[in-house]
Chains A and B, each alone.
Chain A
Amino acid sequence: DGGITQSPKYLFRKEGQNVTLSCEQNLNHDAMYWYRQDPGQGLRLIYYSQIVNDFQKGDIAEGYSVSREKKESFPLTVTSAQKNPTAFYLCASSIEVDGNYGYTFGSGTRLTVV
Chain B
Amino acid sequence: GNSVTQMEGPVTLSEEAFLTINCTYTATGYPSLFWYVQYPGEGLQLLLKATKADDKGSNKGFEATYRKETTSFHLEKGSVQVSDSAVYFCALSGGGGATNKLIFGTGTLLAVQP
Binding site for B on A (CB under 8 A): 4, 6, 31, 33, 35, 40-45, 48, 50, 58, 90, 92, 94, 96, 100-103, 105-108
Contacts and interface: CB of A to CB of B under 8 A. Distances in A.
Nearest to B102: A103
A93 to B, nearest CB: 10
Interface in B15-61: 32, 34, 36, 41-46, 51
27 contacts: A4-B43, A40-B106, A41-B106, A42-B89, A42-B105, A42-B106, A42-B107, A43-B89, A43-B102, A43-B104, A45-B103, A48-B100, A90-B43, A90-B44, A92-B44, A92-B102, A96-B100, A100-B32, A100-B51, A101-B93, A101-B94, A101-B100, A102-B46, A106-B43, A107-B43, A108-B41, A108-B42
B99 interface: yes
Enumerate the 9 nearest inter-chain pairs by beta-carbon distance, A residue then B residue, closest first.
A42-B106, A105-B43, A105-B44, A107-B43, A43-B104, A42-B104, A108-B43, A101-B100, A42-B107
Interface residues of B, number: 22
A48 B101 contact: yes
B99 A101 contact: yes
B100 A107 contact: no
